[in-house]
Amino acid sequence: MTELLQDGRDDGAVAGAAAQTEVWRIEYANRPIPRIVPHLKLRAPSIEKLLTAATVCALLAGWFFLTRYGLVNPLFLPTPAAVWSAFVTTATTGYQGSRLDQHLLASVDRVLIGWSLACVVGVPLGFLMGLNTKIKAVFDPIIEFYRPLPPLGLYTLIVLWLGIGEESKIALLFLAALPPISISATEAVAGIDKRYITAVQSLGASRRQLLHHVILPACLPGICTGMRISLGFTYSVLVAAEIVAATRGIGWMVWDAAKFLLSDVVIMGLIVLGLTGLVLDLLLRRLERVLTPWRFI
């Protein structure tokens, strides 16, 4: 079946490509092609990397100069040195009873539990919602209603219901993580090219084969992207989740330090949050490569 489709396409594509090649041949007849092409190929990615590096350097340099010459109140923007020493102190002696790694572990633990639960619930739910419009009609309004609610507003109610322990924190993270996953799974299923399905059905594939060989692989990229977006979103709700009655966690540390106006700890905590978020995202990208290798050829 796939061959059939490809053949059909190839006809036109081949003709088009041939015509295009003809044009190129005439156009580039008098140009030194071999030089330009490899040159561009080598340079293109490095420009972007340079830009990224330059942005980071410019930000750091700006931070350094603003604080070095006393242009801003250190209460608002402490010096890089102060932030570094806050990092060292927190990593060795700790902040309010816990070392930095303990704070980080507590937070990452909460995020991963909430997010994993959302994956376990959200992927099948989204799948079903994409396959069956009646199931979608039941769950869609619930998810669409609470999704835009500010996490802090939602949290007060969760605390009333579930108390101040880990349950309420994980519940909030779970609720934040769920919509991106279930929505992307729904969209991925609904977005499958119907021709694939009818073609496979016409070849006599069973429901199970259809699911296993067509629907699942076709959805996987969309679901993976949804999971990645979801993890980032869950991470961004972390501070809100740790505001009430936490004694440990990076989000709590940032919130507590702000109450005591320790801006060096606040900025250090935010940098640590940002970097660990980045690492988690990189790990997920790796996972994406393993699960859907065909997208990265």
Partner 1 sequence: MTAFTVKSRAGTLSGAIATILRGAARVLLPIALAATPAIGHAADEPASIKVGYVDLINAQVLAKALHLTEKSVGIPVTWVKFGSGGDLNRAVAAGAIDFGGVGNPPATIGITRGLPYEGIFVLDELGPVESLVARPGIKSIKDLKGKTIATPFGSTSHYELIAALAGAGLNPAQEKILDMDPPDAFAAWTRKDIDAAYLWEPVLGRMVASGGKILMDSGTMARRGYPTWDVGVVMKDFAAKYPGVVVKYLKAECQAIDFWHQHPQEAAGLISKELNVPLAETAKEMTGTYMIPCHEQLTAAYLGTPAHKGKFVATLIATAKFLKSQNRLPDVKEDAVYAEFINPGFLQQAVKP
Q: Cα–chain-centroid distance for residue 217?
A: 20
How many CA atoms does the CB half-sphere of 117 hold within 13 Å?
15
Query: Considering beta carbons, is residue 81 or 216 the nearer one to partner 1?
Result: 81
CB of 199 to partner 1, least distance (A): 30
CB 24 → partner 1: shortest distance, Å? 13
Task: Say whether 95 sits in a helix, a strand or coil.
Answer: strand
Determine the Cα angle at 97 with ends 91 and 98, to 5°: 40
Nearer Cβ to partner 1, position 1 or 66? Answer: 66
The distance from CA 50 to its chain's CA centroid, rounded to whole angstroms, is 23
Smallest distance, Å, CB 76 to partner 1? 7
CB 268 within 8 A of CB 86: yes
Residue ranges binding partner 1 (CB under 8 A): 73-76, 96-97, 156, 159-160, 163-165, 244-247, 256, 258-262
Between 108 and 265, name the residue whose CB sits nearer to partner 1: 265
- Shortest approach of partner 1 to residue 252 CB, angstroms? 8
Compare residues 109 and 166 and give the one whose CB is closer to partner 1. 166
C-beta closer to partner 1: residue 64 or 161 = 161
How far is the CA of 48 from the CAs of 43, 59, 122, 225, 278, in angstroms?
Answer: 9, 17, 35, 23, 18
In this structure, the number of other CB atoms found within 10 A of the CB of residue 103 comes to: 28
C-beta of 70: minimal distance to partner 1 in Å? 13
